[in-house]
Every structure is written in C-alpha cells, then in structure tokens.
C-alpha cells in the first residue's frame, strides 16, 4: 500500500507568529498533565524547566525516516496548557499537554511531534467548556479562492475543539532541513486508529506526557517580544503564562528591545503587530541600495532592444486600485482580421533588476512578500524599484515578461507565446475607470473622467480593448466554473482615511465587480500557462503552487451540520460545492445573509495554498489546486510584491534560453518555498490585524455601531454572529445581557439557546428570544475601555436602545478574534 508524501501537506490552520531556530528535545520529560508537576515547573529554576535540544541532523533524519510529524502548534487560549497540531490524515488532532511539554514552543510555531507507541494511544473526549474557546483555530483561504484585493477578516474555527485526540510526544527540527516523510510508520498507525474509532466509541482518560519545541530556522533577534502594559481589572491569565514562558526561553534571548509608543495609537500598535510577526520594516541597508542602478534617470540599455520583442506601439494599459503605486501587470487586446484576438499579459521584469546572489536578492528573499496594511505598504523591494523602475507606470518604457495568446471570442487558446518584451503603457486605469467602460459599452466616457492617455492612442481604443477583454474574461470565467472551480467570496472591509490624521473616517464592504474579475481571469490564465511551461522544462525543479483538499474532519462536520439544517449541499468536489452555493439561495436579504454565513462556514475546512518544488513530491496528484481544480498552478504575475514570482521568472527565463538553468537543487528550492509560505501566512495575519485595528479605532471614534447580524454558531452560554454591514465576526455572551435566565438545548441535533430578557418595567412580562443558527438579530458594536478592542452586544427584541457592556472578565475570551 502506497502513502502520499506528507512533507508539504502538514500545514495548520493557524497563522505562524514568527518562528525560532530552536531544535527540539531529546526525550520525554515530566508529565505536565500532573498539576503538581505543572505548578512545580512554573516555579522551578530556569535550568531545570526545559529539556535540551536534539541536533538538526537528528531531527532531519527523523523526518526522513517518517518517525516525526510536522505541523504548526495551536494553543488553546482558554486552557493554555493544552495544545494541538493536525494529524497527517487531516481527520483529527494530535494533543500535547503542558507548558513544559511544549518546551518553549509558542502559538503558531512550526514543530514536529513523535507519536507514542500505538498501544499507549487513547481517545480523549474534550469537555464542553472547550467549545467556548473563541478563535483558537483559524483558517485562511488562498487568494485564488476568495480574491486578494483587500485584507480579509479572520476566519474562525468551525469546531473549536477536536473530538478525537492522538497522544504524542514533541520532538523538534529545523524546517529548512526537515522536509521529511511522515509516511508508512505514522500514517499507517493514524489510519488504523481511525478505523478502530469507527468500530468502537471508546472514551478513556489519557496519560499525558509530551515534549514540544519550534522548528523553523530564523535569526532570533527578528522575533521580538511585544507586550502591552495596560490597566485591566482581570489580567488575561493565558497571556501572562505565555509571557512567563517566553521569559524562560534563555537561549532565545527574548527581551524588550525598544518602546514602540503609546498603546492604543495606530502607529505604535502597527509596529507592535509587525514586530510580533517578524516583518522587517527597517530601511534598506546601503549595501542593498548599492545594488540599484546609480545613474538616474535610468534608461533601458540599447542591447536590451535586441534581446526583446518591442511592444511599445501597442495599446497596453494597467488596471489597478486607484491608490496603487506598484504596478506589476498590464494588459493588451488587439483584434485580428479573422475575428480572434491577440491578448497579452505583461508583467514587470523584476528579475532583471535583482541579480541572483546579490544583497538585494538576499533581502528580497528574506522578506519574501510585501505586506499590505490599511494605511501603508511594507515593500519587499526598495521603493525605487517598486514604484519607479519596475512599476509599469504610463508613458514610460518598461522591461516586461509577457505571455501572449491568440484567443477566440469564447476564450479558446489557439496559440501561445512567452518572452521578454519592452512595453510603454498608454494609461493607468483604476478599477473604477474600467468598470465605467464596461457599464457604458456604447457611450463615450468624457475625457475629464479618465486618466491621461498617451497621444499615440485614443480613449475609444482603450475602451474597445477593455470591452473585448471583458467579453473574453466572462467566457473564461464561465468555463472555469463549468470545469469545477470554486470561489468563496467573503465580505471585505475598505476604509476611508483622514488625510491629516490618518484615522479612519468610515468604512464599507468592498465590492468585487466585473473590472476586478476581468483582471483576475487573465492573471489566472497567465499563471496556469507559466506553470505548465516551467514544469515541462524542469519537472524536478519547478516552483509551483498547490492547494490541498479541505480538512476531512472539519468537512465532515460541515456536511453533518448542513444535513441537520436541511440544506441541500454537495461537498463531493470544489465544483459541486460552488454550484451548491450558487444555486441553493435566493436573492432576498435573508437568503443572501444565509449565503454569507454558509460561505463563511465553508471556508473553515479549507487549507492554505502552498508553494512547493515539484521534485519534492512523488505523487503528481498532490500538485493539484483544489479551488481552481487545475493540475498545475504557480505565481508569475506579481514579482514586485512576491519573491516566489521572481523565482518563477528566473525559471521561465531559463526555459526560454535567456539564461542558464538556476543552480539550485530541489531540496534547496523547497526551503525557499517553505520560507515564502511562512512569510505569506504571517503577512496575511498582519493584514487581518491591521484591518481589525482600524475597525477598532473606527468603533472607538464613531461608535457604537449598529447592524443586522446572522447567527453562525450557538454555544451553551454564547453565540457567534456575522455582522452583515461590516463583515466581521463577534461572539455575544449571555452574561453581557440583562437576562433573567438562558437555557441551552439541542432540538434534534440543532443547537438552540433560549434567552429570557428581564422586563424593562415591573408591569411587563419577560421577553423570550430563541437563538438558532441563521437567526437574524440586531447587534451593537461597542468600544471597550483603553485597549483598541470592541465587543458585540445584542439589542433587546423590539427596542432601539443600547444594552449593557460585556462583563470585563469575559472580554478576554474574544481577544483572539480582534
């Protein structure tokens, strides 16, 4: 029986909070499940608390032998001694108990575990309080599945607590050396356990003795402790424990490096977020800047015109957000005499300006991605490159890498060409400009409503090109979904900022329109084309991007939930799920709200899309991209902001004979891919926290804010809602409301929470309100005290007034969300 290679599939749902270079313990320590042992470990001397580490070589060998499992640690914020990583089969979690057992591993750290012998495995039933944990486990959608124009809100775990836990001891490795197999030994055992659990539903108390430690390799000084000292009546104990644990990481030398400023202010809070997640926002060094062209203004060397296809006379233009300054991509669409079209995607040739092995290359590789905050961008490359030399600014000659097709009006590819080019964009369109052209196909757009257009081209020519691209994009998109693609559109917040203070003045849900879809379709087409091109040329050394199928356990839970709710949903494939979401709901307000909630739920089992080296996976079925439902995919279209795209450009250049084949072995390329994955996850989390920060400021400055909300989860003392006006999720606690009583029950298998409101006047009767999933309620978002946090409270049925604030002791439970 063959087993899949799990070296790359072991990705958790939680975003890493940076990583360290610690390499794990060698043996099993004291049982942290024992209270005395646990308390003693917290009071003991530093030297005796944690185990010493294995060598990187031993850990790497363990991964290769398949005796270790790799995953990212998730710590229960309500029960700090409990932690988990996902098992290889995605059907359950592996449980690690205790601070000592984790051996300095923190939430989000990449770790490896070693399972106990099978005869010691036990099934642990979580207690009901675990289901009260909010935001313990999070999921992130790949941008191909939900779009990437704006940071998305946090996606909360559908089932906060695993119902099957496999005991493990924690060993450790370095991820740069540890691309090992978790096949045969461990996978066989996990699958056997799965079979046994279906045969008998046995629940026993487990003996708990585990060890843990982070495994990814990074310079330690980059991972700084960020801690806010705030006045609070009841300190968050799990965070104090984490702070205590961090203070004992003697060999990590974690300390407060500088004062970031006043807590509660946007810039200090932003610096704290960046620092905590290891984002390098320092100025580029003089050594790096010396790698840039020194003689400015820079012009294209004459020899480049002999090496490239000259497209400067073509009608080529960019379509981007109105505020964008790093313009990666441009489009062209030339009608042919036979009724077909020559369509081009033209991407900034960043690799020309980033010599391999240079200081500039090294810092770009380390940063790996630009980080987009609400108020600014932390660039991967110096701004001279991002905003000037590489950016495809209008009416300027630019070096590009192009994919050009001959397409029928239906989007069928008749011919395909790849090559280095020189373009001269005739105009910089915003999405709004392109949208107005799409919505006015026969009307001339007034010149004053458009950006400047080069004199060689007319606004009518650009308008026709946009309309032709739109027509082809609609056909491409329709065919993609016929072929089984999935898209989970989720609500995204956009802010308007005060130009002087930088504070948010308002916010709105970003509307994803036809102009966005137009650009998306051709970027997807280019990425897929390049993926096939480089994989054909370098089957062992292609940098590709795969999207694993959903987590089995969470998907099964969702299937059961939909059955209980009477929803006819087909989860058998990405395309079937997309069809169900498209066809199940009507277009009235209540149906659209239910669709938003269910889309949110469907996002939770989804795994992260991952960069990988094709030579490191033996089973090509694992190359597939689940959401796009295609066999091969990569990232080629955004080299200004993603280093993975720079690597792909180099591979494509070698494929076309522009340069020698990159001298990189598959395992070294995989290390680069792993680092890009790590930085990408950290970047997504930072973007989310930036959005949450600005929304918290908006609530504080402009709140309280009222909105309709739909219930998406019911617990025994609280319920979760999706706030429809703002697209945020919050938990509403019963003890925050003026209730006479509340009662939780299951009607069949459906959870139901009955609230009995205290009457507002003595002569009135208590008001009874039943909360179930898909209930439509009114909520108020209210700022908390000093911290930039906000809570959600329920409005009394049939009233317009505000209710009391959430109890301060309970506020801590939803801080993971904010």
SS3 568: coil
Annotated binding-site residues for Mg(2+) read: 320, 329
Closest CA to 181 of 2, 306, 346, 324: 2
Closest CA to 91 of 179, 9, 205: 9
SS3 309: strand
Token pair for residue 615? 């030579």
CA 655 to CA 171: how far, in whole Å? Answer: 41
Q: 704 preceded by cis ω (within 30°)?
A: yes
Q: Which residues of 265-285 are buried (b: 16+ CB within 10 A; e: fewer)?
A: ebeebbbbbbbbbbbbeeebe
Annotated binding-site residues read: 320, 329
SS3 146: helix
For residue 63, the Cα-to-chain-centroid distance in whole angstroms is 26
Longest dimension (CA), the chain: 91
Question: Do 6 and 183 contact (CB within 8 A), yes or no?
Answer: yes
Closest CA to 7 of 188, 248, 181: 181
Question: Residue 486 is inside which H or E element, if any?
Answer: none
CA 384 to CA 386: how far, in whole Å? Answer: 6
CA 546 to CA 634: how far, in whole Å? Answer: 8
CA 297 to CA 280: how far, in whole Å? Answer: 28
| Burial (Cβ within 10 Å: 0-12, 13-18, ≥19) of residue 307 | exposed
Question: Do 553 and 90 contact (CB within 8 A), yes or no?
Answer: yes
Give the position of tokens 């089957």.
Answer: 539
**In angstroms, how far is the first alpha carbon of the chain from the final one?**
46
Give the angle subtended at the CA of 543 by the CAs of 541 and 547, to the nearest 5°.
130
CA 337 to CA 624: how far, in whole Å? Answer: 38
CA 328 to CA 306: how far, in whole Å? Answer: 23
Question: Do 752 and 771 contact (CB within 8 A), yes or no?
Answer: yes
Closest CA to 600 of 135, 156, 133, 149: 156
Q: Which residues of 479-492 are buried (b: 16+ CB within 10 A; e: fewer)?
A: ebbeebbbbbebbb
CA 391 to CA 217: how far, in whole Å? Answer: 33
Q: How far are the Cα atoms of 48, 176, 225, 341, 571 from residue 253, in angstroms, in the given order?
A: 17, 22, 10, 60, 48
| Residue length of the chain | 818
Report, in angstroms and rounded to the nearest whole number, the Rg of the chain calculated over CA atoms.
Answer: 27
Question: Do 198 and 123 contact (CB within 8 A), yes or no?
Answer: no
Q: How far are the Cα atoms of 311, 434, 449, 649 from residue 437, in angstroms, in the given order?
A: 24, 5, 11, 32
Token pair for residue 501? 């203070």
């Amino acid at each position: 029986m063959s087993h899949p290679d799990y070296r790359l599939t072991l990705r958790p749902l939680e975003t890493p909070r940076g990583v360290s270079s610690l390499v794990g313990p060698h043996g099993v320590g004291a049982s942290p499940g024992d209270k005395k042992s646990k308390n003693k470990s917290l009071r003991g001397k530093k030297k005796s608390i944690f185990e010493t580490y294995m060598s990187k070589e031993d850990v790497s060998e363990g991964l290769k032998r398949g005796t270790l499992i790799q995953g990212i640690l998730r710590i229960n914020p309500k029960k700090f001694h409990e932690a988990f990583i996902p098992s290889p089969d995605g059907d359950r979690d592996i449980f690690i108990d205790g601070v000592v057992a984790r051996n300095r591993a923190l939430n989000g750290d990449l770790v490896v575990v070693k399972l106990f012998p099978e005869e010691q495995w036990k099934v642990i039933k979580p207690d009901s309080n675990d289901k009260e944990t909010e935001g313990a486990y999070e999921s992130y959608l790949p941008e191909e599945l939900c779009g990437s124009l704006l940071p998305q809100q946090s996606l909360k775990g559908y089932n906060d607590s695993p119902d099957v836990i496999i005991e493990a001891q924690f060993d450790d490795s370095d991820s740069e050396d540890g691309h090992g197999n978790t096949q045969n030994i461990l996978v066989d055992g996990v699958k056997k356990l799965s079979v046994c659990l279906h045969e008998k539903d046995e629940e026993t108390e487990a003996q708990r003795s585990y060890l843990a430690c982070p495994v990814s390799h990074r310079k330690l000084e980059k991972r700084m402790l960020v801690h806010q000292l705030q006045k609070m009546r009841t300190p968050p104990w799990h965070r104090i424990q984490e702070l205590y644990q961090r203070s004992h990481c003697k060999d990590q030398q974690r300390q407060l490096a500088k004062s970031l400023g006043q807590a509660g202010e946007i810039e200090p809070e932003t610096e704290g977020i960046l620092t905590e997640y290891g984002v390098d926002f320092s100025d580029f060094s003089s050594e790096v800047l010396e790698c840039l062209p020194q003689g400015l203004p820079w012009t294209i060397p004459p020899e480049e015109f002999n090496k490239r296809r000259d497209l400067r006379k073509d009608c080529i233009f960019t379509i981007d957000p109105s505020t964008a300054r790093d313009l990666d991509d441009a489009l062209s669409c030339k009608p042919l005499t036979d009724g077909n079209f020559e369509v081009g995607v033209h991407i900034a040739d960043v690799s020309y300006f980033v010599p391999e092995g240079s200081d500039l290359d090294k810092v770009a590789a380390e940063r790996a991605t630009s980080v987009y905050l609400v108020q600014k961008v932390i660039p991967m490359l110096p701004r001279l490159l991002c905003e000037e030399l590489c950016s495809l600014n209008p009416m300027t000659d630019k070096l590009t890498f192009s994919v050009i097709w001959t397409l029928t009006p239906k989007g069928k590819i008749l011919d395909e060409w790849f090559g280095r080019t020189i373009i001269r964009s005739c105009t910089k369109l915003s999405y709004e400009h392109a949208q107005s052209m799409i919505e006015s196909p026969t009307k001339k757009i007034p010149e004053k409503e458009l950006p400047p257009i080069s004199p060689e081209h007319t606004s009518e020519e650009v308008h026709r090109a946009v309309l032709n691209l739109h027509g082809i994009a609609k056909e491409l998109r329709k065919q993609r979904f016929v072929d089984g693609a999935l898209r989970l559109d989720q609500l995204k917040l956009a802010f308007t900022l005060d130009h002087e203070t930088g504070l948010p003045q308002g916010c709105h849900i970003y509307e994803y329109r036809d102009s966005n879809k137009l650009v998306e379709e051709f970027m997807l087409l280019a990425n897929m084309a390049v993926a096939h091109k480089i994989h054909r040329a370098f089957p062992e050394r292609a940098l590709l991007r795969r999207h694993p199928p959903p987590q089995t356990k969470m998907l099964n839970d969702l299937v059961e939930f939909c059955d209980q709710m009477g929803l006819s949903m087909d989860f058998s494939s990405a395309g079937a799920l997309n069809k169900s979401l498209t066809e199940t709901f009507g277009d009235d307000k209540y149906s659209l709200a239910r669709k938003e909630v269910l889309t949110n739920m469907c996002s939770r089992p989804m795994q992260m899309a991952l960069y990988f080296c094709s030579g490191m996976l033996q089973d090509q079925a694992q190359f597939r991209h689940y959401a796009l439902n295609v066999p091969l995919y990569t990232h080629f279209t955004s080299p200004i902001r993603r280093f993975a795209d720079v690597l792909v450009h180099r591979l494509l250049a070698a494929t076309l004979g522009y340069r020698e084949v990159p001298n990189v072995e598959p395992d070294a390329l995989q290390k680069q891919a792993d680092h890009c994955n790590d930085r990408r996850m950290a970047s997504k989390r930072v973007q989310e926290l930036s959005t949450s920060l600005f929304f918290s400021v908006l609530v504080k400055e402009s709140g309280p804010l009222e909105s309709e909300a739909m219930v998406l989860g019911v617990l025994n003392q609280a319920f979760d809602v999706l706030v429809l006006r703002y697209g945020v999720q919050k938990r509403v606690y019963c003890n925050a409301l003026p209730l006479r009583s509340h009662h939780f029950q299951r009607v069949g298998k459906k959870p139901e929470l009955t609230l009995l409101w205290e009457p507002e006047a003595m002569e009135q009767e208590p008001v009874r309100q039943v909360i179930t999933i898909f209930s439509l309620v009114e909520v108020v978002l209210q700022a908390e005290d000093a911290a930039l946090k906000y809570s959600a409270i329920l409005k009394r049925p049939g009233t317009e007034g505000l209710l009391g604030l959430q109890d301060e002791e309970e506020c801590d439970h939803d801080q993971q969300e904010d």
